[in-house]
Chain A
Amino acid sequence: MTEMNDNLIVFDNVSKFYGEILGVNRVNLKISAGITSLVGPNGSGKTTLMNLMTGLLQPTRGKMSVLGISPNNPEQLFRKVGYCSQFDSFPRGATGRELIRSYLTVHGYSKTEANELTHKALERVNLLEAADRKVAGYSKGMRQKARLAQSIAHNPRVLVLDEPLNGLDPMARAEAINLFRSLAKEGLHLIISSHILHEVDMMSDSVILVSNGYVIAEGNIHGVREEIEERPAEIMIRCEFPTKLASKVFAMDSVVEARLHKDQKGLFVKTKDADKFYLMFNKLVIENDWGIESVAPADDDLNAVYQYLIGSEGEGKGR
């Protein structure tokens, strides 16, 4: 069991209360390598989960381990973990380079090693040009990059990133996402919290949806969507004769709604049983010899899942 957990981040029935206020409750998770996104509205418990796994908070109940190490053992934990927190403050007077280098020396690296690692980290986040300027004079995006550089400088195996895309311009966002992907390819665990759903959707291998301190869904986003049975699956069919198709599919038991696309070249179908629908639909197409351009699920992205599970709380945050 322990050997298995040596490559996982494990939450075992973890609860955290701030006095009488609930932070998170009864969280059970096993997170493997790759990009895992924590998604949920503000105050849902995402940062609490991150602070718990990095030992900045102590759980009220339950246990956690990160690659088999307890968060109460910072000496070992932070050899393997980097945390890019949301705390937007820096030691006074430090330049970007000094900030990273000085904390690497606290890690135990020699001056030469610290210099090399600092340079590599700054290069990776594209902050070399501003490295010798005071952090106090950095823009929000540059401060975010400095934090990111600090968290990756010691080559951790687990990277915890709290809203890492905040304050970054579109170019820097794309660079950051590419960096996360390449780190995930290297076999790292990346735990990312974000409310920019389409970006999370693009880069995540799996998601954890959090609401009011509870984990309400976790896993691959398509898998999560499939589990939401009370919401009919929405499918978009692109073809030349959507009206004809609409009349036929509407007759199927499993279909609850069929609606033409605005451009009259497509059809939205809502079905209670997607598997059954696909089977019947294939038959229908072969029998009528219709040319179908594409068939694709229209609501198994993170935004739809978020709306279904968390509802109006998340509206407006998706983009």
Chain B
Amino acid sequence: MSSTALETVKTEVENESSNFSLWLHQIRAILKLEVKKNLFSLRSILIYLLALLPVIICAMIAIVVFLTSTAGGDPRWREEFSQVMATTFTFIYNALILRTVVFFGCAWIFMNLFRGEIVDRSLHYYFLCPVRREVLVAGKYLSGMIAAIIIFSLTTIVSLFFLYLAGYPSSLNYLIHGVGLRHAGIYVGITILACVGYGAFFLLVGLLFRNPILPALILYGWEWINFLLPPLLKKVSVVHYLHSLNPVPMDEGPFAVLAEPTPAWISIPSLLLMSVIVIALGCWKIRRAEISYSGE
């Protein structure tokens, strides 16, 4: 290779690396602005109220169980109690936390990343910066992820903790020294994956639709009827992959169409791949996006 060609390659490599460090700097700057907005703006109050719902329900169940149980000292009761609580939490987690709180919470956070700025008429501030639109999508998506993961992981952990508090002190022992802690970790993992999957979907929905509520409700319905769908269609959903990861299997009722749960080594990469494809679509859409607030 001649020295000029070598120089050119070297310059290209240096440019790429300086571009990359610029993008990282820009993502950090966007994160700083957006995380603050996602966690502390007026819009986030709704998310906190939603996130509190399962915590309050679990706390109430715990209080009722604690006050009404009389057989706390019986070791057989203690074992049964832990089993019942594990099943109860799986039900609360899947029906309330995952399918409702995380779903609508992510809808609110991620749809507002772009749609909210269009409604506030402030998106042009980003569009007038020398920033690649893909970098903007990455920054905003990550900021949504950070906010969603913080809020909904806390909801999951605190709800679980309150529920097990009902059988104090023996249940706490189960939680810390038994499989309880491992289960808690898995639930948090599922919550994070849910934020990744739903977040990507709702970010795209917020870019594609002026009124994203309808597509969100359609997805909500689709996720809820997942247990009735044939095995092939089940795979076209987020919740199917998340259910496969549940530490405690959940009874989906007498009408459920049974299907083999997808193993974790397939479901996790599938969900991540699906999210990457959806985010790529979002990038494609934003590259062609125009600022026309009057039409909104």
Contact assessment for B29 and A105 in the assembled complex, using a CB-CB cutoff below 8 Å: yes
Instruction: Indicate with 1 or 0, residue by residue over B124-141, a CB within 8 angstroms of chain A CB atoms.
Output: 111111111100000000
Q: In the assembly, what is the distance between CA of A18 and CA of B32, in Å?
A: 35
Contact assessment for A79 and B288 in the assembled complex, using a CB-CB cutoff below 8 Å: no
Q: In the assembly, what is the distance between CA of A77 and CA of B125, in Å?
A: 14
Contact assessment for B291 and A106 in the assembled complex, using a CB-CB cutoff below 8 Å: no
Interface residues of A in 51-82 (CB under 8 A from B): 51, 54-58, 72, 74-79, 82
Task: Give the interface SS of chain B, mostly helix, strand, loop or mixed.
Answer: helix
Contact assessment for B126 and A85 in the assembled complex, using a CB-CB cutoff below 8 Å: no
> Among A58, A90, A91, A107, which residue has its beta carbon within 8 angstroms of that of B129?
A107
> Among B22, B121, B128, B133, which residue has its beta carbon within 8 angstroms of that of A108?
B22
B25 at the interface (CB under 8 A from A): yes
Q: In the assembly, what is the distance between CA of A58 and CA of B120, in Å?
A: 22
Which residues from B are CB-within-8-Å of A103? Answer: 125, 129
B3 at the interface (CB under 8 A from A): no
Most central of A51, A57, A75, A77 by chain B CB within 10 Å: A75
A243 at the interface (CB under 8 A from B): no
Instruction: Indicate with 1 or 0, residue by residue over A89-117, a CB within 8 angstroms of chain B CB atoms.
Output: 11111000000001101111000000000
B270 at the interface (CB under 8 A from A): no
Instruction: Indicate with 1 or 0, residue by residue over B282-296, a CB within 8 angstroms of chain A CB atoms.
Output: 000001101111010
Nearest CB of A to B285, in Å:
13
Contact assessment for A106 and B127 in the assembled complex, using a CB-CB cutoff below 8 Å: no
Contact assessment for A75 and B132 in the assembled complex, using a CB-CB cutoff below 8 Å: yes
Q: In the assembly, what is the distance between CA of A214 and CA of B277, in Å?
A: 42
B100 at the interface (CB under 8 A from A): no
Which residues from B are CB-within-8-Å of A56? Answer: 124, 127-128, 290-291
Contact assessment for B293 and A108 in the assembled complex, using a CB-CB cutoff below 8 Å: no
> Among A55, A89, A107, which residue has its beta carbon within 8 angstroms of that of B120?
A89
Contact assessment for B125 and A57 in the assembled complex, using a CB-CB cutoff below 8 Å: no
Q: In the assembly, what is the distance between CA of A83 and CA of B129, in Å?
A: 10
> Among A57, A92, A106, which residue has its beta carbon within 8 angstroms of that of B26?
A106
Contact assessment for A91 and B131 in the assembled complex, using a CB-CB cutoff below 8 Å: no
Which residues from A are CB-within-8-Å of B32? Answer: 102, 105
Which residues from B are CB-within-8-Å of A82? Answer: 128
Which residues from B are CB-within-8-Å of A108? Answer: 22, 25-26, 29, 130
Contact assessment for B127 and A76 in the assembled complex, using a CB-CB cutoff below 8 Å: no
Q: In the assembly, what is the distance between CA of A100 and CA of B133, in Å?
A: 20
Q: In the assembly, what is the distance between CA of A12 and CA of B85, in Å?
A: 70
Q: How many pairs of residues, A versus B, come closer than 8 Å at their CB atoms?
A: 81
Contact assessment for B121 and A89 in the assembled complex, using a CB-CB cutoff below 8 Å: yes
Q: In the assembly, what is the distance between CA of A83 and CA of B288, in Å?
A: 19
Count of chain B residues with a beta carbon within 8 Å of a chain A beta carbon = 30
Contact assessment for B290 and A58 in the assembled complex, using a CB-CB cutoff below 8 Å: yes
B30 at the interface (CB under 8 A from A): yes
Contact assessment for B33 and A106 in the assembled complex, using a CB-CB cutoff below 8 Å: yes
B83 at the interface (CB under 8 A from A): no
B41 at the interface (CB under 8 A from A): yes
Q: In the assembly, what is the distance between CA of A83 and CA of B127, in Å?
A: 10
Contact assessment for B130 and A75 in the assembled complex, using a CB-CB cutoff below 8 Å: yes
Which residues from B are CB-within-8-Å of A18? Answer: 292, 295
> Among B33, B42, B121, B132, which residue has its beta carbon within 8 angstroms of that of A102?
B33
Contact assessment for B128 and A83 in the assembled complex, using a CB-CB cutoff below 8 Å: yes
Q: In the assembly, what is the distance between CA of A105 and CA of B130, in Å?
A: 11
> Among B29, B133, B293, which residue has its beta carbon within 8 angstroms of that of A106?
B29
Q: In the assembly, what is the distance between CA of A315 and CA of B129, in Å?
A: 37
Closest chain A residue to B135 by CB distance? A75
Contact assessment for A92 and B131 in the assembled complex, using a CB-CB cutoff below 8 Å: no
Nearest CB of B to A35, in Å:
21
Q: In the assembly, what is the distance between CA of A79 and CA of B120, in Å?
A: 25
> Among B22, B41, B133, which residue has its beta carbon within 8 angstroms of that of A74?
B133
Among all A-B residue pairs, the 6 with the closest Cβ atoms: A78-B130, A89-B121, A105-B29, A56-B291, A106-B29, A106-B129
Which residues of B are interface residues toward A (Cβ below 8 A)? 22, 25-26, 29-30, 32-33, 37, 41-42, 120-122, 124-133, 287-288, 290-293, 295
Pairs A–B under 8 Å by Cβ, sample size 22: A18-B295, A55-B127, A56-B128, A57-B292, A74-B127, A75-B132, A82-B128, A85-B128, A87-B124, A87-B293, A89-B120, A89-B122, A92-B41, A102-B29, A102-B33, A103-B129, A106-B29, A106-B30, A106-B126, A107-B130, A108-B25, A151-B128
